[in-house]
Amino acid sequence: MASLISCPHCGTRPKEEFSIRGDAAPVRPAPLAADEVWHDYVHLRANPRGRIREHWQHVAGCRRWLVVERDNFTHEVFAVLDAAAERGGAQ
């Protein structure tokens, strides 16, 4: 069975139409933050097993950035939100 992602703009589509960017949890430091803070942001990431929130782009569809909540072990998708709406921006 193919993995499917329900794009809020295009409907349910195969995961091959999407490109993953990675974990949606890290928050970008301020431009003048200490070098150690930037080092941690760029190079140190947790690699949990299980439910995680990730940034995905619907490259073969609407090209919107999405926040996908899924289990990275079973690949079950729990929720898909528009990334702009998620951070309170315009859609």
Of the candidates 55, 47, 54, 51, the one whose C-alpha atom is nearest the C-alpha of residue 71 is: 51
Q: Three-class SS of residue 3? A: coil
Answer with the residue of higher pLDDT: 47 or 81. 81
- Across the range 72-91, mean pLDDT stands at 84
Q: 38 vs 22, 43, 46, 54, 87, CA distance in Å?
A: 17, 8, 16, 20, 21
Q: Catalogue all structural domains in the chain, each as residue range(s) with its CATH number.
A: 4-86 (3.30.2270.10)
Mean pLDDT of the chain: 91
What pLDDT digit, counting tens, does each position of 6-35 carry?
Answer: 999 999 999 999 999 989 988 899 999 999
What number is the average pLDDT over the span 56-64? 97
Across the range 63-87, mean pLDDT stands at 93
CB 66 within 8 A of CB 77: no
